[in-house]
Amino acid sequence: MLYSKLFSKSLKNVKKYDSLNATLLQKGGFIDQVMAGVYSYLPLGLRVLRKIEHIVRSEMDAIGGQEILMPVLHPKKNWEKTNRWDNMDILFKLKGAGDKDFALGPTHEEIVTPLAQKMVFSYKDLPVVVYQIQDKFRNEPRAKSGILRGREFIMKDMYSFHTSEKDMDVFYEQVERAYETIWQRLGIDKITLKTYASGGSFSKYSHEYQTLCDTGEDIIYICDKCNVAINKEIVSEHKACIQCGNKDLTEKKAIEAGNIFKLKTKFSDAFNFKFTDKDGKEKGVEMGCFGLGVTRVMGILAECFNDDKGLIWPESVSPYKVHLIGLNLEDEEIKQKTFDVYEKLQSAGVDVLFDDRENMSAGEKFADADLVGITWRAVSSKRTGDKIEVKKRRDAEGKLMPIQDLLKMVAD
Amino acid sequence: MLYSKLFSKSLKNVKKYDSLNATLLQKGGFIDQVMAGVYSYLPLGLRVLRKIEHIVRSEMDAIGGQEILMPVLHPKKNWEKTNRWDNMDILFKLKGAGDKDFALGPTHEEIVTPLAQKMVFSYKDLPVVVYQIQDKFRNEPRAKSGILRGREFIMKDMYSFHTSEKDMDVFYEQVERAYETIWQRLGIDKITLKTYASGGSFSKYSHEYQTLCDTGEDIIYICDKCNVAINKEIVSEHKACIQCGNKDLTEKKAIEAGNIFKLKTKFSDAFNFKFTDKDGKEKGVEMGCFGLGVTRVMGILAECFNDDKGLIWPESVSPYKVHLIGLNLEDEEIKQKTFDVYEKLQSAGVDVLFDDRENMSAGEKFADADLVGITWRAVSSKRTGDKIEVKKRRDAEGKLMPIQDLLKMVAD
């Protein structure tokens, strides 16, 4: 992609937004705030989002999740059945033609449960696991954390259906491993902790995945003895580590990246969703729910990986792999050489953003590259001769090398 | 994919839905009606949708479209600026916390215009083209055409920005060619006609792409002399072909698959979106809008390509390329042979849906395959020996062949 043609230029002088992630992502040209809590994703931002989605999707597929797509508009009657129409503050409600009542889905138990009920009859149809990557809505009174807590946001929500709690438990552990792999692929495994949280009315505990971050709005507690993480709600109740009883807990700020729940038969009961077991008896279907905030993860990466010059994307979700900067492009020979580098990278299947703007200083181009935060920066100029200067966004110093050496490092 | 594990089984005895497409797609296990005009897309349906999206996306990218993602929730003030808040019947409106008014976007001129305004300053920034593939909403009083006219649906909407009408015209023709390529890749180019439609308040004509179909709800007129297609509105006004004046027009039923508009400066004026031209003068930005109904195209394909046994997908969007049917799987040797075929196809990178269900008659499996409508059917059984019987969904008779021959025909 030629930077000169890119729709979303980076902007040096944007106002300060409601959060670090919004400010950095607006500056880099990744998102545009339509109103508080509602954003457009620009070409660079959408590329990051799609790479995050790809990682999440591949790990959900790997544990047998089948992708579906459920709607945003939900009928009121489904939410009445689960007793949540009047009991969920953040539920957006609206009226359509003919005085029909709809909700905008903040979660999809109300849709997926009656759907699975049409497909599952006996123990032979179980377990079954479906998921979607889809737009969700929350009627937030104050949306002030950029894309970390939007009125509209994208989530991966997965729902599993089982014959027994035991079968549910086995799958729950598979999901834990899949989530660990996702954090690893996103480069946040070292700072993302499985954290004990309340199980709500239906289960003893659920788990949150909390990413440690100084700008986080959640508080978690880490047990100095057994290294377990526990959320605020649980600590207020137990005043100690729930695993070893230790009262020396270290307080940390964090952002919730995902949460996983055992729902037992709460929702299957609400819809009278039963299956016939091996013994011929009708039983309630055990359910699990596994959330992961896709736009939120993008926000977390922005909050965690940056410096005073801009964003620093993990390579797995970097909008492009290489940010090629052409200097002295007014010189025809150098221009030709630099376009050759661009084509060589593209022919090797490498994503490249090529800053082809003429009559612009090195300093301005470097500053833009730092704002955008692409993993590899390659500079071609009069000074670099028949080589290019390569540096990673994190590094201070670049290194002159032949184009072949860069290709070896970045080609998949 | 093993059919025995597939979440969405085909259903022989579904009720008759509000349209042929809804009935066929429900029977085949592609979609599930949540309420009138609102559907979930099940694993098979989502695969078709993603293949349609892939075709549309690649053709929009090829003409320089840059993909973005705008939100569903729109602020009231943007719709007031264009004078459409009170003048669009199908606009869904809702109130959020703090008495804020929102619309659910049925189209995105109100969002994309002020967005482009932040990126475009001079003639050097033009032309620029952005598009999205995104969820749209219409407050339909009666939604009764399956996924052809939903309350919630997926569209590709592209917006272009130009310095002059002339530049707009050049791009408009590029889009026409891109749309023709899309219809061709979807197998509906022979039956999809560019149709003159009203240009609204801002342009003389716009164009609809109308797919001829006996179950269509639109009426179009084809000029017997110059073969131009004209929509009902234009014919009511002109009583003749607008190109040659001929009054012998043939009436046909059709379904609108897309529409393209020149918007002139209607929306840029509403937002006071100007650019500085070469001559240093401020001018209004010329805009174009190019829609294509993605879920609607899926409905059109279902309406157009079927027989009394079920769906017949064009190969380019067939949910899987091969529907492998294993018969006599109770026999261990045949089971082994058939699983080998399944693995060979998968190793060659061929999408396969494998009906691995045991103790089920050939008739039942064939009927399910016909309902689902995958392009290639391959049968492995006691009778087929070390070969397989291959037939296309449209053909009456199959042909025995070695597995290698099938691989040659279906591998990409």
Which residues of chain A make contact with B35, given a CB cutoff of 8 A?
73, 75
- DSSP line for B269-315: HHTT-EEE-TTS-EEEPEEEEEEEEHHHHHHHHHHHSEETTEE---G
Does the pTM of the predicted model rise above 0.90?
A: yes
- Nearest CA of chain A to the CA of B27: how many Å? 12
Confidence at residue B199, expressed as pLDDT on a 0 to 100 scale: 82
For residue A206, give every residue at least 6 positions away whose Cβ sits within 8 Å of its Cβ, in sequence order, or none: A197, A198, A199, A200, A259, A260, A261, A262
Task: For residue A141, give the chain B residue with the closest CA.
Answer: B97
Contact A94, B94 (CB under 8 A): yes
Structure tokens at A341: 């580098």
How many whole angstroms separate alpha carbon B57 and alpha carbon B62? 8
Confidence at residue A46, expressed as pLDDT on a 0 to 100 scale: 98
Which residues of chain B make contact with A116, given a CB cutoff of 8 A?
7
Q: Are B96 and A93 within 8 A, CB to CB?
A: no
Confidence at residue B168, expressed as pLDDT on a 0 to 100 scale: 97
Minimal Cβ distance to B75: which of A35, A116, A139: A35
What phi and psi, each to the nearest 5 degrees, are found at residue B6?
-65, 130
Q: Helix or strand or coil: residue B117?
A: helix
What phi and psi, each to the nearest 5 degrees, are found at residue A111?
-105, -40
> Which amino acid belongs to residue B272?
N
The C-alpha angle B24, B27, B32, rounded to 5 degrees, equals 95
Instruction: Give the single-character DSSP code of B411.
Output: -
Q: Helix or strand or coil: residue B52?
A: helix
Chain B residues 62-91 with CB within 8 Å of chain A: 64, 66-75
pLDDT tens readout for residues A175-200: 999 999 999 999 999 999 999 998 87
Which residues of chain A make contact with B9, given a CB cutoff of 8 A?
119
Q: In what order do the strands lie in the sheet with A322-326?
A: A352-355, A322-326, A376-380, A388-392, A399-401
Confidence at residue B202, expressed as pLDDT on a 0 to 100 scale: 66
According to DSSP, the residues that pair with B210 across neighbouring strands are B193, B256
B293 Cα distance to chain centroid: 5
Q: Are A64 and B39 within 8 A, CB to CB?
A: no
Which segments of chain A have a pLDDT < 70? 201-202, 412
Q: Which residues of B119-130 are buried (b: 16+ CB within 10 A; e: fewer)?
A: bbeebebbbbbb
Which residues of chain B make contact with A41, given a CB cutoff of 8 A?
68-70
Cβ–Cβ pairs < 8 A, chains A and B = 127
Task: For residue B113, give the chain A residue with the closest CA.
Answer: A34
How many whole angstroms separate alpha carbon B400 and alpha carbon B379? 9
SS3 for chain A is CEHHHCCCCCCCCCCCCCCHHHHHHHHCCCEEEEECCEEEECHHHHHHHHHHHHHHHHHHHHCCCEECECCCEEEHHHHHHCCCCCCCCCCEEEEEHHHEEEEECCCCHHHHHHHHHHHCCEHHHCCEEEEEEEEEECCCCCCCCHHHCCCEEEEEEEEEEECCHHHHHHHHHHHHHHHHHHHHHCCCHHHEEEEEEECCCCCCEEEEEEEECCCCCEEEEEECCCCCEEEHHHHHHHCCCCCCCCCCEEEEEEEEEEEEEEEECHHHHHCCCEEECCCCCEEECEEEEEEEEHHHHHHHHHHHCEECCEECCCHHHCCCCEEEEECCCCCHHHHHHHHHHHHHHHHCCCCEEEECCCCCCHHHHHHHHHHHCCCEEEEECCCCCCCEEEEECCCCCCEEECHHHHHHHHCC
Crossing angle of helices B294-304 and B43-62, in 10° steps, is: 120
Closest CA to B29 of B18, B14, B16, B17: B14
CA-CA-CA-CA torsion sign (A59, A65, A66, A72): negative
Which residues of chain A make contact with B151, given a CB cutoff of 8 A?
73, 96
How many whole angstroms separate alpha carbon B372 and alpha carbon B24? 9
Burial class of A202 by CB neighbour count within 10 A (0 to 12, 13 to 18, 19+): middle
How many whole angstroms separate alpha carbon A251 and alpha carbon A117? 43
How many whole angstroms separate alpha carbon B245 and alpha carbon B238? 9
Contact A284, A268 (CB under 8 A): yes
Minimal Cβ distance to A71: which of B34, B49, B94: B34
Q: Are B152 and A71 within 8 A, CB to CB?
A: yes
According to DSSP, the residues that pair with B286 across neighbouring strands are B162
For each of the domains in chain B, give its residue range(s) and CATH number, in order of start: 3-307 (3.30.930.10), 320-410 (3.40.50.800)
Which residues of chain B make contact with A72, given a CB cutoff of 8 A?
72, 135, 137, 152
Contact A145, A217 (CB under 8 A): yes
The C-alpha angle B178, B181, B187, rounded to 5 degrees, equals 145
- Nearest CA of chain B to the CA of A203: how many Å? 26
For residue B334, give every residue at least 6 positions away whose Cβ sits within 8 Å of its Cβ, in sequence order, or none: B326, B327, B328, B380, B381, B382
Structure tokens at A153: 């946001």
How many whole angstroms separate alpha carbon B338 and alpha carbon B328? 10
For residue B143, give every residue at least 6 positions away whose Cβ sits within 8 Å of its Cβ, in sequence order, or none: B18, B36, B37, B38, B149, B150, B151
Confidence at residue B138, expressed as pLDDT on a 0 to 100 scale: 97
Confidence at residue B15, expressed as pLDDT on a 0 to 100 scale: 78
Q: Are B71 and A7 within 8 A, CB to CB?
A: no
Which segments of chain B have a pLDDT < 70? 201-202, 412
CA-CA-CA-CA torsion sign (A56, A59, A63, A67): positive
How many whole angstroms separate alpha carbon B158 and alpha carbon B330? 53
For residue A339, give every residue at least 6 positions away whose Cβ sits within 8 Å of its Cβ, in sequence order, or none: A356
